[in-house]
Structure 1
Amino acid sequence: MSEKSPQESQNEEVDLGVLFKAIGESFEKLFRFISNIFKGTFSLIILALKPIVNNFKLVAIILMVSALVGFFIEKVKEPVYVADMLVRPYYDSKYQLSNNVNYFNALIGSKNYAELSVIFEIDSSTTAKELLGFDIEIGPETQNDLIKEYDDYIKSLDSTLAVDVTYEDFISNRDILAGRIFSIKAKSTSNNVFPSLEKGFIKTLENEYSIKLKKRTDSIRKVKRKSYLDELERVENLQKTYLDIKKTESEKDLVKVAGGVLPLIQEKTETKEFELFKEELKIRGALRLIEEEMVDEGQYYDILSSFEEVGAKEKDFFEEYSIIFPALALIILILGYSFIKVFKFIKEYE
């Protein structure tokens, strides 16, 4: 057996010592770097707070004055009231609904109160001038609704394309018109104008295209329903015929037994009652689906929730001036102090 020489062992110990020393120095540099980051951050915070502490009375007065100014503006500013309406449009009237919301906002922006009064059947001199705008967004949806919508979308695609579309991609790429229920938010300076706005949106949902589409859809459904009824009548006639055949064969068997004749082999007519029964169930199921569609989509829209009788006061953080103004004043003071310091440093730099 060969043993390592003392020289080789000493070299290995030296190599390990160098390695551990290098590792220790690396950790020391890392900890020093992290410590410098914390020290630098702390220094910046102190430098930012130092002018505030040194000029505490002036800063306090400015913040108090800005808060009082913001509070005064909040009290003087006319309040904004909002109300929501949930609708489920049929026959692609959602496209007209989206366009008309933009049109209504354009009328409000151009102060065309006469046209607004005609659309919503309201007073142009007072009520129409109180309108501030409309917003439309997808209404409340459950997870089951989204999954069903995704499944319908996948079925409409080619199989090679459907593989690449995930549920997350479908949800992230949906636009507002992909929804089935829509929330319409109205804004006004009056809190009792909202119930009178419903008529204008009803006119929107019953537009020329949706009326034409409903007539065509109803005609197609009537043709399908008649076709299914004719098919159902044919199946019922065949069932009745097979039943008569079975009844006739049973009567023949009874006559032969009563006459004392017992045939060894009795040929039976082949019938398909079970297949006809399954066909009948299939046709009745299709008829039921058509009738459900005719009932569910018998109107151009469904109003799930009307505008509230009294609107709620809108709460917007950016209109909380008693908070926004002091915060802006403090930021301006800090930026101003920093600018002065930088300007002074550049001026005195050699």
Structure 2
Amino acid sequence: MSENLPKDKNEEVDLGALFSAIGKFFDKVYGFIANILKGVFSSIIFLIRAVIDNYKVITIVVLTAMLFGYGLQKMKEPVYYSEMLVKPYFESKYQLVTNIDYYNSLLDSENYETLSSVFTINDKEAKTIKSFEIEIGPETENDLVVQYDKYVKSIDSIRAQDISFEDFVDNRDLYSSDLFTIRVESTKRDIFKKLSNGFELTISNNEYSKKKMRIRDSTLAIKRQAYMRDLRKIDTLQMVYLKILSNESEKGAVSVGMEGMFPLTQERTQTREFELFQNELRLRDSISVLDQLKVEENVYYDVLSDFSEIGVKSNDWTKKYILILPALAILVMLLTFFASNAIRFVKNYEA
């Protein structure tokens, strides 16, 4: 037993050193966090003290900036906006987005003559337009689920397993939607209704969409001809069956058993009137679907919600100079304060 005593004492020393090292580690962590908190607190106090020492200058600068911003805001014309919700067909959404960029480029280059010819307005009205914007239209959760299901079916099943609904929603771009909101800003409050025809004309002149519509119409016509041909065949078979049944009912088609051993039996030809009737109903339903599709999608885009007669006054915070200028003034003063203190620190450090 005496031989085991030194070993136990060494183990106790090792455990004590381990716990001591762990304690020192946590002390350093706590000290590091405390220093950070102390530094943040000191910076806040330092900043508050600077504000208190210079509150007169700060107040004068902020009030001056507010007054200047208020005057600048009053001098500028008020801006109004209106929105139009559209649903493009035949891939015309690409032309729609391209047109919006084109209109904004005309505004940037001040080419009001071309812009006025596009929307059939005069140059004076064209100069009142400030911007065109387009974004994805309002969508519900069900709409996104339907789009996700359609997308998953369009790609490989193995790859579809790696794309979750959340990934699909996060990675969507402007062209992923079927609904679009077009927003126009102008200093003229009642110009927006005049712009609707311009959008319709420019989208309707898209050759690619015209080609897509022609292909769709030709496909529908071919399918309809095939369905009508099948209907005529069914009508012919139905007439044949009716004729057979009529002849059998007139003649009786009765046969007598051998040597009178069997009773009289009436043999009738088996027909499939009910199956023909079901096929006829299915074909007529298919034809109705084709006709309905052609009626519903006979334009390049539908306007779900048009521009309003009178625009709404824009409350864009970027145009509220009464708030922006004081904020900029405060930011400049803070940068100046920190820069001056940094310069003073560097000079004292070199000395």
TM over 0.5: yes
Q: 2:149 aligns with which of 127, 148, 151?
A: 151
Shift of residue 218, structure 1, vs aligned partner: 1.8
* Residue 218 in structure 1 maps to residue 245 in structure 2: no
CA distance in 2, matches of 1:261, 1:237: 41
For the pair 1:119 / 2:128, whether they are aligned, the reply is no
Tell me how far apart the structure 2 counterparts of residues 238 and 96 of structure 1 sit (CA, whole Å). 50
Q: What do the CA deviations read for 1:195-216 (whole angstroms, capped 9, x no partner)?
A: 1111111102321523443233
Give CA deviations for 1:101-156 in whole Å, capped at 9, x if unaligned: 222222222222222222212222x2111111211112112222222223223333
* CA distance in structure 1 between the aligned counterparts of 2:22 and 2:49, rounded to whole angstroms: 40
Per the TM alignment, residue 157 of structure 1 is displaced from its structure 2 partner at its CA by 2.8
Distance 2:58 2:17 in 1: 58
Structure 1: which 4+ aligned runs deviate by more than 6 Å? 250-254, 264-267
1:297 aligned partner: 297
Would you say how many aligned residue pairs link Structure 1 and Structure 2? 346
| 1:236 CA drift (Å) | 3.8
1:180 match: 178
- Give the unaligned 5+ runs of structure 2: none
Q: 1:143 to 1:264 in 2, by over 3 A?
A: farther
Q: Note the 1:20-169 alignment, pairs <5 A.
A: 20-124=19-123, 126-169=124-167
CA distance in 1, matches of 2:127, 2:47: 48
Q: Does the 8 Å CA contact 1:127/1:193 hold for their aligned counterparts?
A: yes
Under a length normalisation based on structure 1, what TM-score does the superposition of the two structures give?
0.86
- In structure 2, how many angstroms separate the alpha carbons of the residues matched to 1:208 and 1:33? 66
Whether 2:308 is the aligned partner of 1:308: answer yes
Q: 1:228: Cα distance to partner?
A: 0.7
Cα distance in structure 1, aligned partners of 2:99 and 2:108: 14
Q: Is the 8 A contact 1:48 1:334 kept in 2?
A: no
Query: Contact (CA 8 Å) 1:96, 1:207: kept in 2 or not?
Result: no
For the structure 1 residues 256 and 165, does the alpha-carbon distance in structure 2 shift closer, same or farther, using more than 3 Å as the test?
same
Cα shift at 1:231: 0.9
Unaligned runs of 5+ in 1: none
- 1:234 and 2:233 aligned: yes
Letter aligned with residue 73 of structure 1: L
Which stretch of the first structure deviates more once superposed, 207-216 or 134-143? 207-216
Partner residue of 1:171? 169
Q: Is the 8 A contact 2:81 2:186 kept in 1?
A: yes
Compute the displacement of 1:184 (Å): 0.9
Residue 335 of structure 2 is matched in structure 1 by 335
Aligned counterparts of 1:185 and 1:119: Cα–Cα separation in 2: 17
Change (3 A) 1:33 1:344: closer
Please tell me whether the aligned partners of residues 195 and 307 of structure 1 are also in contact (alpha carbons under 8 angstroms).
yes
* 1:247–1:13 Cα change, 3 Å: farther
Report the Cα offset of residue 245 of structure 1: 4.4
1:290 shift after superposition: 1.0
1:82–1:186 Cα contact (<8 Å) kept: yes
Q: Residues 107 and 113 of structure 1 are in contact (CA less than 8 Å); yes or no, is this contact kept in structure 2?
A: yes
Identity across the alignment (%) = 43
Letter in 1 for 2:43: L
Q: Give secondary structure in 2 for the equivalent of 1:127.
A: helix
SS of the equivalent of 2:90 reads coil
Measure, in 2, the Cα distance between the counterparts of 1:261 and 1:105.
Answer: 98
Which secondary structure does the structure 1 equivalent of 2:122 belong to?
A: coil
- Bigger mean CA offset, 63-72 vs 165-174: 165-174
For residues 190 and 214 of structure 1, the distance between their equivalents in structure 2, rounded to whole angstroms, comes to 37
* Counterpart secondary structure, 2:330: helix
RMSD: 3.0
Aligned to 1:19: 18
Counterpart of 1:107, as a letter, is L
In 2: Cα distance, 1:154 partner to 1:5 partner? 71
Maintained 8 Å contact 1:139/1:181: yes
Rounded Cα–Cα distance in structure 1 between residues aligned with 2:275 and 2:235: 12
Identify which range, 189-198 or 138-147, moves more after superposition.
138-147
Task: Identify if the C-alpha distance between structure 1 residues 270 and 336 changes in structure 2 by more than 3 Å, giving closer, same or farther.
Answer: same
Distance in 2 (CA, whole Å) between partners of 1:343 and 1:42 is 22
1:258-269 correspondence runs (5 A): 263=263, 269=269
Structure 2 letter corresponding to 1:65: T
Please give the residue correspondences for 1:188-203 in structure 2 after superposition, counting only pairs within 5 Å: 188-203=186-201
Amino acid at match of 1:326: P
Q: Deviations 1:172-194 (Å, cap 9, x if unpaired)?
A: 33332222121111110111111
Contact 2:85 2:181 in 1 (8 A): yes
Q: Distance in 1 between matches of 2:197 and 2:324?
A: 39
Cα distance change of structure 1 residues 248 and 313 upon mapping to structure 2, 3 Å threshold: same
Which residue identity lines up with residue 345 of structure 2 in the other structure?
F
